[in-house]
Structure 1
């Protein structure tokens, strides 16, 4: 009976999104204020932030919805870093919201381990 909250938490975390994701969208923007809020299609499950740096000085940011997380890499005359996340408006900042799911997973595992160890 004491294990019920842990089981309910696991079930709640494994349920898929019921509605579309919301992200910020812009192309080669200098500032976040240049981006607009958009509703992604049901197939687009990632908010992406790509930061492009040219010659070590000129930096631009592009943000969009995507069905997959693109890979970073070299671009003509510069370098591109990519951050992906999967919660509404999580690409607000320049670097996105990396690590949210890893932290949540670690907390869930720690809770389960504690519950099993103490006999809850």
Structure 2
């Protein structure tokens, strides 16, 4: 009986823990409220990702959110002033709840672009 218990204990300690990752999912939504559907990720998918993109300036800014499971962690943060794209990832279940990523409009870049365009137009004489 002792041998059986020792063998059972060894089997339990050596067994690989089965963990299921759950993520919020959505595709190209305007609002984070549309991204509340949960999904059980495949075994090879170890990350929950949130991709947030924005295009425009002032009140004419358009936002898009995509959430999904991912096998890798493609973290990006690109900001072109009037357009920005950011992907964040995390490794625990339902960790991609928030739709707010670290995209910030860089008004200095926007101002320099407008100023450069204005100078070009004035030099050409249009």
Query: Same fold per TM (> 0.5)?
Result: yes
SS in 2 for 1:82: strand
Change (3 A) 1:17 1:47: farther
Aligned to 2:38: 37
Structure 1: stretches of 5+ with no match in the other structure: 1-15, 97-120
What TM-score do the two structures reach when normalised by structure 2?
A: 0.56
Normalised TM-score (structure 1): 0.58
Count residues with an aligned counterpart.
81
Q: Which residue of 1 aligns with 2:5?
A: none
Which residue does 1:78 correspond to in 2? 83
d(CA) in 1 for partners of 2:63, 2:100: 13
Alpha-carbon deviation of 1:73?
5.1
Q: 2:71, 2:20 → 1: CA distance?
A: 12
State the Cα RMSD in Å.
Answer: 2.5
User: Which stretches in structure 2 are left out of the alignment for 5+ residues?
Assistant: 1-15, 102-126
Q: Which has the larger radius of gyration?
A: 2
Match runs of 1:21-100 below 5 Å: 21-35=21-35, 36-56=37-57, 57-72=61-76, 74=78, 78-95=83-100
CA distance 1:17–1:54, shift in 2 (3 Å): farther
